Copies of this chain bind each other. A is one copy, B any other.
Amino acid sequence: MAHRSCLAGFIIDCEGDDLAGAADFWTAALGDRERREQQGPYVVLDDEAGLHVEVQRVTHPSRVHLDIATDDITAEVRRLERLGARQVAAVRTWVVMEAPTGHRFCVVEAEGPAFAAHARTWDEPA
């Protein structure tokens, strides 16, 4: 079975309690964007040409992490493992992975028209 994936966007993980302040800074810094209401630990900024940009309150040190969207999380995790990444945790509907370069990133469920337009198709190896 083939599956599809693409870069979904990036999440600005902000350590500390002041999510509104963090979202204020990044909204203004990145061009005075539209933003949606806070939902739990997340504030979604408007898409950058189809890329999702989000500010998240976290308890680990601040960082930026990438999200890879897919229509088959199990197959995409396997593909990324073959490239050298490792699975760190399964969280609700997504999987946290670590790249061989040490970066944490997430494999998330595909949504929206950008996925249909940009996703690459991967055949399972024989």
State the A residues within 8 Å of B (CB): 5-7, 10, 12, 14-16, 21-22, 25-26, 28-32, 48-51, 53, 61-66, 68, 80, 83-85, 99-103, 105, 118-120
The verdict on A63 contacting B103 (CB below 8 Å), with A7-B48, A10-B10, A51-B49 known, is: yes
Contact B64 A26 (CB under 8 A): no
Q: What is the count of identical protomers in the complex?
A: 2
Contact A31 B48 (CB under 8 A): no
Partner of A102, one of B5, B62, B68, B119: B62
Q: Nearest Cβ distance between residue A107 and chain B, in whole angstroms? A: 10
List chain B residues, Cβ under 8 A from A68: 29-30
